[in-house]
Structure 1
């Protein structure tokens, strides 16, 4: 019996530590949780953010409660200092001391609130609900200054001017923003000139494509510079870009016509059906091409009107490039009377064409009697000229034909009708 009791005691001995662990001591039951990061405004927000990374959502909830308590105590200090300031008489040492204490208490409270926002962000990121605590913090964020208390008002303004987080901070940010925009402007202009020089030396691209590439590069640099400049003002660019990305479908649907013009503009720039200065006919509009953007094509009509044609109406229709080949045939028809000498008329036409400046020797000119019309015998006259000389050649030959035919006694008939009257007896 004695040995049996000893054996039983030895068997239960290993279980004693486990039993002790399962039964917490009164000291552990009454232990109060302590914040991992001691509440205070002296710690930098970025350092605090790193320290919060390993914490669980429950630990972050406890952390937020501890910091809220510290903020509450800071708010009480601000309230006490504000009361002393309100009770102090203006112009006295007590008033200045109260103002100093109030400014110090507000600075400490502001630093605490800044770090408190970091904790709440980390808590929400891991699934916590910080709405109530954010509401509490927002009620303390606004600095309340009695506008009737001129000394307090001036003191707050002077402190804001001298504060590193006040006027000095914003002046620095605004200065940096303006400087970045200026630098981006000069860099974009410099790069645009370099690209222009490179494109000028490379003859394989059209002037339209050259202009497009130059504009895109310049605007891209300016856009990047603008984003960097805005970020110096404290604006978070990431959420803005994420919002634009998330709303891409809605934006695309709302701007479908503009996107269609954009796509067609890219096709025009890639396939280059015309270039700057080309004479074209597109969608019933005739004129010379001034420019092509990603939205529309600018055409200057022959009577000097500027017409903006949407790119979808350009690429989606027949495009006639009048001078793309560099040479054009000048098609003209001249009629003579049925009683005139056709050989003499042809000789005159050949002489005029051979003497006209701008007419090309190759391809050869075609001058033939073409048809016996109702009122005239028609000759076709088809010389070739450079596209730039088309109208000069056309007008010069037409004028000479009239002068030479008149001098040679060859008539140029006009439509007429002969009426024969028969007398009826």
Structure 2
């Protein structure tokens, strides 16, 4: 009969809870009571999850709660230090007074105080770790400034935790200092913790190195399977793959060492504009290096002419290209100078045409010269038959009748064929009586004759009669 009463009561309770939740949350916000610090042993990952939905003001309340705990632990640590100092002085006085019982009692009390100090330091370190989790959440919600720095509110917490954290050794008491170091090494939040962190860092670096080799090898094999792939681009991508994997490993390793790299990355990003402005020429070379690798106008060991330099490409990076000239000089050329100018690649094709010009005298037999050139080309073992060589009378020059001789050869045989054919042409022309004229000019001199009539002087004055011959010479008659 009353079976409906229980479900009805349950529904009314749920409705009251839903309506009362905002009111309770508002009251909690007004009271600003920290919640997480009531459980100092809360796990770090659990604390991070609990802090995620809180607002900045609520996170600051939580940070204040952890700061109070750290402050209380710092007071306990200070009292423990004072007690150790007092017991050390008491032990020293007893030893000077040669009272063994008092010295032994002070020594035992000192050992107990050192153990207590180690435990207090571990508690304080754990509380600082939890405060850092809260501060990290505040940074996520407020962000960093333009210089990559945290807000002043967060920095205030950082300064205090840095001031009271760590181990400060008393150099006047060697025994206490040694005991502090020994206790820190044996503590869970001290030596054991950093031993695990250091071991984890080395393990991550080892794994990163192995992965870098594996991924770079896979990249090289994949690029090798690709047809017509540039060796320069292959080497670049392989090295970049290895470096990227190592950089990721270093980032993970630093996080294991509890290094906050967020501010560092923010500073690098903020300084990017200044660096880019200061390194304009370098960035221009960088961009040109990328374009060279993508479009591949040349490759390693190619014979090229770039920026007025002839030689073979030795290596290429993102900033410059190294070229070894044919007389074995090493030239380092900025990539911007290469990409912004004409690039001549003599090794781009497997075959090249050898262009040569040979001249004979105007009085020589052109058919005989043609036959000699054809014989030389046909009998040379390095000259290709396809494409066929071109041998033609090309020009009636000032001093010679010029033939062109253009055989096709493998690129590697270019200069061998050039030198062989040139030598053979000289030998065969001499044997066949064909001259190789040198530049000459004919000079024609024309002389013009003139009649010069000399005036006849008055015979009454000099009693002589003057005549001129055809050359204009005076004859006296």
TM-score range, shorter chain: 0.7 to 0.9
User: Which of 304, 318, 326 is equivalent to 1:280?
Assistant: 304
Q: Larger deviation: 261-270 or 313-322?
A: 261-270
Q: Provide the residue aligned with 2:201 in structure 1.
A: 177
Q: Is the 8 A contact 1:345 1:405 kept in 2?
A: yes
Q: Is the 8 A contact 2:122 2:190 kept in 1?
A: no
Q: CA deviation at 1:336?
A: 3.0
In structure 2, how many angstroms separate the alpha carbons of the residues matched to 1:364 and 1:351? 14
User: Which of 407, 410, 417 is equivalent to 2:434?
Assistant: 410
Q: In the TM superposition, what whole-angstrom CA distance separates every residue of 1:234-282 from its partner, at most 9, and x where no partner exists? A: 1223333333334433333233333322332332233332333332222
Q: Provide the residue aligned with 2:9 in structure 1.
A: none
Q: CA deviation at 1:349?
A: 1.6
TM-score by length of 2: 0.71
Question: Structure 1 71/232 Cα, relative in aligned 2: closer, same or farther at 3 Å?
Answer: closer
1:330 and 2:347 matched:
no
1:240 and 2:279 matched:
no
In structure 2, how many angstroms separate the alpha carbons of the residues matched to 1:96 and 1:154? 12
1:84 and 2:99 matched:
no
Q: Is the 8 A contact 2:125 2:189 kept in 1?
A: no
Q: In the TM superposition, what whole-angstrom CA distance separates every residue of 1:52-73 from its partner, at most 9, and x where no partner exists? A: 5566666666655555554444
In structure 2, how many angstroms separate the alpha carbons of the residues matched to 1:225 and 1:53? 27
Q: Provide the residue aligned with 2:236 in structure 1.
A: 212
Q: Is the 8 A contact 1:40 1:111 kept in 2?
A: no
User: Which of 336, 355, 374 is equivalent to 1:312?
Assistant: 336
Q: Is the 8 A contact 2:84 2:110 kept in 1?
A: yes
Q: CA deviation at 1:415?
A: 4.1
Question: Structure 1 138/421 Cα, relative in aligned 2: closer, same or farther at 3 Å?
Answer: same
In structure 2, how many angstroms separate the alpha carbons of the residues matched to 1:73 and 1:275? 69
Q: In the TM superposition, what whole-angstrom CA distance separates every residue of 1:3-47 from its partner, at most 9, and x where no partner exists? A: xxxxxxxxxxxxxxxxxxxxxxxxxxxxx9865345574333444
1:261 and 2:285 matched:
yes
In structure 2, how many angstroms separate the alpha carbons of the residues matched to 1:245 and 1:234? 21
Q: Provide the residue aligned with 1:222 in structure 2.
A: 246
Greater Rg over alpha carbons, structure: 2
Q: CA deviation at 1:369?
A: 3.2
Q: Is the 8 A contact 1:337 1:413 kept in 2?
A: yes
Q: Secondary structure at the match of 1:164?
A: coil
Q: Larger deviation: 319-328 or 51-60?
A: 51-60
Q: Secondary structure at the match of 2:377?
A: helix
In structure 1, how many angstroms separate the alpha carbons of the residues matched to 2:32 and 2:314? 75
Unaligned regions of 5+ residues in structure 1, if any?
1-31
Question: Structure 1 331/229 Cα, relative in aligned 2: closer, same or farther at 3 Å?
Answer: same
Count the aligned residue pairs: 394
Unaligned regions of 5+ residues in structure 2, if any?
1-30, 93-103, 143-151, 448-470, 472-477
Q: Provide the residue aligned with 1:100 in structure 2.
A: 115
1:59-70 matched pairs, under 5 angstroms: 67-70=66-69
In structure 2, how many angstroms separate the alpha carbons of the residues matched to 1:315 and 1:58? 56
Q: Secondary structure at the match of 2:81?
A: helix
In structure 2, how many angstroms separate the alpha carbons of the residues matched to 1:211 and 1:123? 44
Question: Structure 1 150/177 Cα, relative in aligned 2: closer, same or farther at 3 Å?
Answer: same
Question: Structure 1 164/305 Cα, relative in aligned 2: closer, same or farther at 3 Å?
Answer: farther
Q: Secondary structure at the match of 2:436?
A: coil
Q: CA deviation at 1:362?
A: 2.6
Q: Larger deviation: 377-386 or 47-56?
A: 47-56
C-alpha RMSD of matched pairs (Å): 3.4
Q: Is the 8 A contact 2:301 2:313 kept in 1?
A: yes
In structure 1, how many angstroms separate the alpha carbons of the residues matched to 2:296 and 2:138? 57
Q: In the TM superposition, what whole-angstrom CA distance separates every residue of 1:330-369 from its partner, at most 9, and x where no partner exists? A: 1112233444433333222221111112212233222233
Q: Provide the residue aligned with 1:29 in structure 2.
A: none
Q: Larger deviation: 164-173 or 380-389?
A: 164-173
Q: CA deviation at 1:109?
A: 3.2
Q: CA deviation at 1:155?
A: 0.5
